[in-house]
Amino acid sequence: MAELYEELGLTADEYRDILRVLGREPNKVELGMYSLMWSEHCSYKSSKMVLSQLPTRASYVLQGPGENAGVIDIGGGLAVVFKMESHNHPSAVEPYQGAATGIGGIVRDIFTMGARPIACLDPLRFGDPSKARTRYLLSGVVAGIAGYGNCLGIPTVGGDIYFEPCYDENPLVNVMCIGIMPKERLTRGVASGVGNAVVLIGNRTGRDGIGGASILASQEFDEKSQEKRPSVQVGDPFTEKLLIEACLELLDKGLLVGLQDLGAAGLSCACSETAARGGVGMKVWLERVPLREEMEPFEIMISESQERMLAVVEPRHLEEVLEVCRRWGLNAVVVGEVTEGDLLEVFWYGEKVAEVPASTLATGPVYDRPAERPAYLDEVWAVDLESLDHPSDYGRVLLDLAGSPNLCDRRWVYEQYDHMVQLNTVVYPGSDAAVLRIKGTSKALAVSCDGNSRYVYLDPYLGTQIAVAEAARNVVAAGGVPMALTNCLNFGSPERPDIFWQFKEAVRGLAEAARFLELPVVSGNVSFYNESFGAAVYPTPVVGMVGLIGNLAHRRTMGFPGEGLLVVLLGETLPELGGSEYLKVVHGLVAGRPPALDLDREKRTQTTCIEAIRRGIVRSAHDCSEGGLAVALLECCCAGGMGASLRVDTEIAPHAWLFSESQSRFVVTLAAEDLEAMQELAGSREVPVVVLGRTGGDRLVVNDWIDLEIASMKEAREGALERLLSGETA
């Protein structure tokens, strides 16, 4: 077995641990199960210890990390379920199916908990858009998300896309799903009740998922990666739709003890995790598993074929469960039984082919990896940004920024998604946050995801704090009160001390920002080994935020809503160009330190903005982030079809005032008669209020620096992505 354990990705120390646990040599089936369950993707062996510092509790948290998804109570007997996952490596090998099955997997995580999925978001990261491979990957990923999500009837309502050369070979495809349910329907992936049946529901098992996410996501890419194309799972959204309806009906009728999806590691994971959570054992009969082709026990136990669920059912409900599944046209077969003790026993036509303690599969090793500050930080921090030439034409710079890969309009992407199905979407993609009505109530959800990896590359601790703050600001700008977050932490190899230092610093920043802003981390995912040919991607933590709008009438968008309104800046602009889009687009630099973040000021500014929205003072609101104030103002003009004339008096240089990415800022509009109320409200929290000018006309005018027609700004921004992807511009 020595050669096989190395081939399966286990270390010599891990193999010795398996020998110790079993008291003997494992056979091929057992070794395959341990190799997947102890992989980085399934066991979190390098990240467990670091993640333990995250704040996960609040009075309204019904389920935190450790289950398929996080759950929060939003009142009125309702709960929201949400989580973010990654499908990076499969998407690099086969972009359509990698992205499609990423959607399928995250949707299963949601309805497994008892919730109906109501929306998806897709934070994506790709390489240089002028390269043919980037265009191939992007078109395949977007088509996969659209093809699967649209067929399911689940709207994709938000997300983001960043382009950086570090993602050329290793794109990041993160997916987030949100569901809603009566809170009494909360279901966990727990096996209990000795003698209860274990039922496999859904698709047949095949070889398409062998060595899929769990193996691909636990190694870096090299020239052999393209040979692994057959290991990427193949999605079937029509079967998934049937699974959603059948499982929710079974839960509505109270027929299930526990429910677990089969994702990474397939049956090995579903059986061992449900048994371990319940403190029980399980017998599994593999000859009963419906197959697409002739397979051996080793393959059946590790296949990651999609659209499969494992249900634990009391014998008295078994026939009714099978009947519900038949009515929905789904395979449903009793493949196992809950037993006393801790053993997971696997049989093949009467022969026992595996016998392992379930808890040892589900727990796995824990590592405290060496961490060392990367040397590149001294170099990028030492760049003298003060000595850079100032632009002579600020309007031209603004148009260049508006048409740049990271700031241009994403319409080409999100118009391929059905973002209106289910009729919950009130604020569509393209605003700070999507807004989803909660039917039967006056409430709504505001949802957003954020993560500027350039900031994190320049300062992992600060950059991750900014990701938390910006995701929350986006929710606030939409009129919501941030409640909780999920995350997807994308990094290179944890075996490299410089990468693991980035990871530890990022999680430290995430923990401190979430704790200070009182935002529990209820779910998440870690994706390591995002490397190609020895080069790692930027450290990329992505934060997904869910907020509650108590009254749908309080929702806001970024567009200037009418003429004659005051344009007001909440917050302060400082000359902070480190890591900015201006620095990259105009000067070709990724250098300096990210803008400073004062969490106390951030909290006060967010509280001021949301209170002003609730009182009806603020008519529109927009978070000021990448590209600075100038880009935020351009976006407000384009979204509302309304210009503005602004006259500002500032002590900092014009290019810094226009393009600095200082944190804790909102651009808001309000009627002149509400200015005093705004000043009083902000003053009580020591939040700066600066009147910039008024809305009106068809131009954006800022001093004598910028004078642009809305039409020219829209032209620069709205068709840019298509031009980039067609190769018209670099």
Q: How far apart are CA 608 and CA 665, in angstroms?
A: 11
Quote the Cα angle for 185-187-191, to 5°. Answer: 145
- For residues 301 and 374, state if they share a domain: no
End position of a domain, from candidates 334, 363, 392: 363
* pLDDT in the model for residue 534: 87
Residue 177: name the closest of 92, 289, 263, 254 by CA.
Answer: 263
- For residues 347 and 379, state if they share a domain: no
Name the band, by pLDDT with cuts 50, 70 and 90, for residue 30.
Answer: very high
- For residues 560 and 674, state if they share a domain: yes
Contact 463, 447 (CB under 8 A): no
pLDDT in tens, 293-315: 999 999 999 999 999 999 999 99
Q: Is 357 a domain residue? A: yes
Residues 6 or more apart whose CB falls under 8 angstroms from that of 117 comprise: 107, 110, 111, 152, 154, 177, 178, 179, 244
pLDDT in tens, 602-640: 999 999 999 999 999 999 999 999 999 999 999 999 999
Contact 656, 630 (CB under 8 A): no
Residues 6 or more apart whose CB falls under 8 angstroms from that of 612 comprise: 618, 668, 670, 678, 681, 682
Report the mean per-residue pLDDT for the chain: 95
1 pLDDT above the threshold of 80: no
Domain count for the chain: 2
Q: How far apart are CA 276 and CA 259, in angstroms?
A: 14
pTM above 0.75, yes or no: yes
- For residues 313 and 215, state if they share a domain: yes
End position of a domain, from candidates 330, 363, 396: 363
- For residues 324 and 242, state if they share a domain: yes
For 343, phi then psi, to 5°, come to -85, 135
Contact 407, 430 (CB under 8 A): no
Averaged pLDDT, 12-27: 96
* pLDDT in the model for residue 66: 95
Quote the Cα angle for 540-541-545, to 5°. Answer: 140
Q: What is the 8-class DSSP label of residue 299? A: H
667 pLDDT above the threshold of 70: yes
Going through 373-530 in order, the beta strands assigned E by DSSP cover: 425-427, 434-437, 444-450, 481-490, 525-527
* pLDDT in the model for residue 32: 95
Contact 613, 556 (CB under 8 A): yes
- Residue of 41, 419, 554, 622 marked active site: 41
Name the band, by pLDDT with cuts 50, 70 and 90, for residue 210.
Answer: confident
Contact 206, 137 (CB under 8 A): no
Q: How far apart are CA 624 and CA 473, in angstroms?
A: 9
* pLDDT in the model for residue 232: 85
Q: What is the 8-class DSSP label of residue 399? A: H
Q: Label each residue of 265-283 as H, E or C.
A: CHHHHHHHHHHHHHCCEEE
* pLDDT in the model for residue 213: 47
- For residues 649 and 712, state if they share a domain: yes
Contact 569, 628 (CB under 8 A): no
Number of C-beta neighbours around residue 283 at 10 A: 18
Q: Is 638 a domain residue? A: yes
End position of a domain, from candidates 363, 398, 419: 363
- For residues 685 and 567, state if they share a domain: yes
2 pLDDT above the threshold of 90: no
Q: How far apart are CA 78 and CA 80, in angstroms?
A: 7
Q: Is 163 a domain residue? A: no
- Residue of 87, 554, 622, 655 marked active site: 87
Q: Is 271 a domain residue? A: yes
Q: Is 718 a domain residue? A: yes
Question: What are the tokens at 538?
Answer: 């930027």
* pLDDT in the model for residue 215: 53
Question: What is the CATH classification number for the domain harbouring 356?
Answer: 3.90.650.10
- For residues 209 and 358, state if they share a domain: yes
What range defines the domain where residue 673 resides?
Answer: 369-408+556-730
143 pLDDT above the threshold of 60: yes
Residues 6 or more apart whose CB falls under 8 angstroms from that of 12 comprise: none
pLDDT in tens, 489-534: 999 999 999 999 999 999 999 999 999 999 999 999 999 999 998 8
Q: How far apart are CA 575 and CA 659, in angstroms?
A: 9
- For residues 283 and 195, state if they share a domain: yes
- For residues 615 and 661, state if they share a domain: yes
- For residues 682 and 710, state if they share a domain: yes
pLDDT in tens, 153-180: 999 999 999 999 999 999 999 999 999 9
Q: Respond yes or no: is residue 87 known to be catalytic.
A: yes
Name the band, by pLDDT with cuts 50, 70 and 90, for residue 221.
Answer: low
* pLDDT in the model for residue 451: 98
Q: Which residues pair with 709 in a beta bridge?
A: 699
Averaged pLDDT, 341-359: 98
Q: Is 479 a domain residue? A: no
Which residue is it, tokens 């993640």? 51
Q: How far apart are CA 434 and CA 147, in angstroms?
A: 21
For 477, phi then psi, to 5°, come to -60, -30
- For residues 269 and 399, state if they share a domain: no
pLDDT in tens, 184-196: 999 999 999 999 9
Contact 118, 248 (CB under 8 A): no
pLDDT in tens, 681-725: 999 999 999 999 999 999 999 999 999 999 999 999 998 999 888
Q: How far apart are CA 164 and CA 537, in angstroms?
A: 9
Q: How far apart are CA 610 and CA 570, in angstroms?
A: 12
SS3 content of the chain, % helix, strand, coil (to 5): 40, 25, 35
Q: Is 130 a domain residue? A: no
Question: What are the tokens at 119?
Answer: 């929306």
Q: Respond yes or no: is residue 419 known to be catalytic.
A: no
730 pLDDT above the threshold of 50: no
Going through 420-467 in order, the beta strands assigned E by DSSP cover: 425-427, 434-437, 444-450
Q: Is 179 a domain residue? A: no
* pLDDT in the model for residue 216: 53
